[in-house]
A and B are shown apart, each in its own frame.
Chain A
C-alpha cells in the first residue's frame, strides 16, 4: 500500500490540518515510511484472536445518572479565544 499526494491531501483534510500543496509529497513519503514499518503486522497470525478492548479486565464503575457539577459558565468560557454573551463564538457556520 503506497500513499500518493492525493491520499495525503485527503488525510490532512480529514484530520483538519492545513497542508500546503508544496508539502504534500514530503508528507506522503513520511506516511509511506511509517506505514511500511506498520506493515509487519500483516505477518502475525491473528486467526481467532479478539481485538483488545480493555487492557485490564475490569468492569467500569456505574453511578447514578444525576447532575454532579455545573453552574460555572464563566469558568467554562474563561479560556476561549473568543467568547461573547455567554457563548463560544466561531465564524459563520450556515449560509
Chain B
C-alpha cells in the first residue's frame, strides 16, 4: 500500500509543486486505499472516473503555475452535500436514486479550487445521530480498535472522520448541527472545525436544522483545516444567511503564538460522572496553554445545562419543517400505492418507508412542539433559553476571554450497538459539550490531545469569538503542538 494517502494536505501541496508527485498518483493511491477499506464502510458512493478526470486537469493546472492550494488534493465529501450527477442521499432511503442537477456552493468552491472528489462519505441519516448507526448504508466502523469490539467513529460525520483517520483521503467535508464534526473528529484522533454560523454557504447542503447547520473541514491537523476552510468559506448570494465578510488567509494566521491571550475554563462543563481521564486531559490542556503563555481564567456559562434540552426542541422543530419536502413528489422514493389510495396515503406511506426510526422520531417531536397549544410552552421558550445561552458566551467574551477550552466529548469512542437498548436521550448526551456552540453560532474546533487508558483518542475543544476562526485556529495550533498527538490507528481492515 502506498504511503501517499498518509500525506497532509500541506505536505501534498508542496510535493505537487516540487513535482515530486502528481495529482493522478495521489488520487490513484487514495482510490486503492478506499478499495482496500470496505470493512470501514466510510465511502458509500465512489467516483473514481470523475476523480481521475479532475486529477488530470489539476496536474495540467499545476504545470501552468499559480494554482490554488487545494489543486490536485483528493478529498472525501459527506453525503449531505449535493454533488451534480453523483448520488447525494443524506444516508436516507427517502433520497434513494437522487442525483442532483446542481452542485452545493461549498463543493463547487472546492471543485473550482482544483480539489479532487473521491466519492461520497457515510453519515447518520439526515445528520441525525452521534454514532453513524442511523445510516441507511449501515454504520461506519472506527479505524481505531483496541479489542474485539467494533467502535463507532461518532456521528453524524462518521464517514468523513473514519476516512481521514484511516488515510483514505487527505481531508473531508463535514457538517455540524450539534457536534457532528467535532465529536467524530475527537473519536478518531483528527482535527475538525465548525465555523461561525454563516461562514460557509448552506446552499445545496441537505438541510437538517437551518439555524444551526454549518459546514466545516475535517483533516489530519489544524493547518489542513485552515487550508480547507479558506476554500470552503465565503459569501454566497444563494444563501442569505452566509456572511458578506472577507475570508482571511487562515493558514497565514497560524503563528501558534498565544502569549497574552486569555483562555476561559467554564466550570459548568465539569459534569457529574465525567470519566477521570476526560477531566485529566482537560487539566493537561489547561496547563499546555498556560505553559505557552496564555492567561487562564475560570469562567461561568450558567445556562449550559439547558443547552441539550433547548437543542432537542429547536433542532427537531426545524427538521420537521425542512423534511416536509420529502413527500414522494419531486425526488427520491415514492411508496407503492394500493388501489384507491389518495395523496395523503402517498405522503404517509412514502415517509413511513423512506425515513428511519430516529428521523421519524425527531420529525414527530418537532411537529409536536410546533403544534397549536404547545408552540409557546416549548418552541418559544426554547428560543428564549437559546438567547440566554448565547448571552453567557457574549458576557465571557466581553470580559476579555479570547477562547474557551472544554473537553470535546464526555467519553472516548464506544462500541457499535452498545447504545441500542438505551433510550434516545442517552445518545443525545454525546453532544453535551458541543451543542452550546451551535446554539450560540460560534466557531469551535476539536483537536486530538491524548489517548485514554485503552489507547483510544480523546479530543479537546476550543471555542472562539464569532468570525475569529483565524485566531481560534492559531490557538488550536498551539494546543496541537503542545499535545504532540501523533498516534495512528493500527491497520486491521
A60 touches B240 (CB 8 A): yes
Contact of A88 among B330, B337, B386, B390 (CB under 8 A): B330
Summarize A's interface: helix, strand, loop or mixed.
loop
B contacts with A, residue count (CB < 8 A): 75
Contact A49–B306 (Cβ < 8 Å)? no
B328 touches A81 (CB 8 A): yes
Do A44 and B388 have beta carbons less than 8 Å apart?
Answer: yes
Interface centre among A27, A37, A80 (most CB of B within 10 A): A37
How far apart sit A12 and B361, CA to CA, in the bound complex (Å)? 9
Q: Give the distance to chain B from A91, nearest Cβ to Cβ, in Å.
A: 5
Closest A-chain residue to B362, C-beta based? Answer: A34
B-side contacts of A82, CB under 8 Å: 334
**Which residue in A15, A52, A61 is a CB contact (below 8 Å) of B390?**
A52
Least Cβ distance of A88 to chain B in Å? 5
Contact A17 B385 (CB under 8 A): no
CB-based contact A31/B368 at 8 Å:
yes
Residues from chain B with a CB closer than 8 A to the CB of A58 are 198, 241, 243
How does the 8 Å CB contact mask read for A44-62 relative to B, with 1 for contact and 0 for none? 1010011111111010110
> Contact: B384 with A49, CB < 8 Å?
yes
Cα A72 to Cα B101 in complex, Å, equals 10
Name the residue of chain B whose CB is nearest to the CB of A79: B331
Contact residues of A between 38 and 95, Cβ < 8 Å to B: 38-42, 44, 46, 49-56, 58, 60-61, 63, 72, 75-76, 78-82, 88, 90-93
Q: Are B351 and A55 in contact (CB under 8 A)?
A: no
Q: Chain B: residues with CB nearer than 8 A to chain A?
A: 97-101, 196-198, 211, 237, 240-241, 243-244, 303, 305-306, 308-310, 312-313, 320, 324, 327-334, 337, 341-349, 351-352, 355, 360-361, 363-369, 371, 377-378, 380-388, 390, 423-425, 428, 439-441, 466
Residues of A in contact with B (beta carbons under 8 Å apart):
3, 7, 11-19, 27, 30-31, 33-35, 37-42, 44, 46, 49-56, 58, 60-61, 63, 72, 75-76, 78-82, 88, 90-93
